[in-house]
Structure formats: C-alpha cells, structure tokens
Amino acid sequence: MGRSTRVPLVLAAFIASSLAAFAQTGTGRISGVVSDPAGGVVPGATVVATHEGTGVSRETISNDSGLYVFEGIPVGPYTVTAELTGFKKYVSQNNLLQVGDRLSLDIKLQTG
C-alpha cells in the first residue's frame, strides 16, 4: 500500500474516532440507590432529575434493588427528587454534572 493510499485511511479513521468522541460530549450519568431509614432498598420510588438551567426533567422508577439511573443526560446543575407513598419527599439541589461524569447520588427516604 503506497503512502497516497494510507493517508486517506488514517484520516478517515481519525475523523470517525473524533465523531464518536464528539457524540459523547455534553452528557453524563446520575445514578444511585434509594433506601429507607434502616438501610433497606426501596423499589418503586419515583425519581426525577430536573436540569436547573433549562427546567427539563427526566423521570424513572427505582428497580427491585432500589437502583435508579439517568444515562446520557445533558451536563449542568440538577435537582433530584424522590417520592413514594409512606415516605417524605426527598430533594437534593445543586448536583453538578460535568461532561463524562458518573455522579453517584444515593437517596435515603425518611418515613412520614
């Protein structure tokens, strides 16, 4: 393979990898476990992440292990809330998500 053939192939590979990296910029992940005061996991809790700059919200439900995940969400400050009947509403503000972050935010619900 001559030099004139390798240069376009190397350039194409570089551009493809750059585009893949660019597609991942500007997002991150928030996840955690919802638990009760005794430390037991809480499935079925409604967890909402609201971007404080735009007001855009995402909602999910904690699974059987109490786990919740918001994947690929835009960077910025978030308010995270959690609610379930029999518990007080949980609110956590100013959770700053930066590019590529995997922010862990465990939620402890109080009875009430």
pLDDT tens-digit profile of 100-112?
A: 999 999 999 999 9
Asked if residue 84 lies in contact with residue 47, where contact means CB atoms within 8 angstroms, the answer is no
What would the pLDDT profile of 36-71 be if each residue is shown by its tens digit?
A: 999 999 999 999 999 999 999 999 999 999 999 999
Report the CATH number that the domain containing residue 47 is assigned in CATH: 2.60.40.10
pTM: 0.78
CA distance 95 to 103: 8
Q: Please report the beta strands in the chain, taking only residues with DSSP state E, as ranges in sequence order.
A: 27-35, 46-51, 57-61, 67-74, 76-83, 90-97, 102-104, 107-108
Establish if 5 belongs to a structural domain. no
The count of domains in the chain is 1
Residue tagged 């400050």 (tokens): 77
Domain that holds residue 84: 27-108
Residue 64 lies in a domain: yes
Q: Is residue 38 part of a domain?
A: yes
**Residue 20 belongs to a domain:** no
Within-domain flag for 57: yes
Give whole-number Cα distances, 89 to 4, 18, 109, in Å: 64, 43, 7
